Amino acid sequence: MERRYTKPYRPETNGKIERFWKTLNEEFVEGALYENLDDLKNEPLGFLVYYNEHRPHSSINNTPKNVSN
């Protein structure tokens, strides 16, 4: 991850990242147990693939971004 700053006086931008952190916490962090450090290092990439390609997204008719309708 890298730190990026939102534009000043743009609350909609900050809201997007706040929602991302909430989703990340609810669907990835809470209740997660890892066998070792390597497991922990590999999990974020798997989650991002799930989030971007398999998870339903309400803003695009509950379909992953790579599925054509």
- pLDDT number for residue 59: 66
- pLDDT number for residue 68: 47
φ and ψ of 39, to 5 deg: -60, -45
In the predicted model, is pLDDT for residue 41 greater than 70? Answer: yes
* Residue with token string 């309400």: 58
Bigger pLDDT: 13 vs 59: 13
**Banded pLDDT at 1 (limits 50, 70, 90):** low
User: Distance between CA 38 and CA 50 in Å, rounded?
Assistant: 19
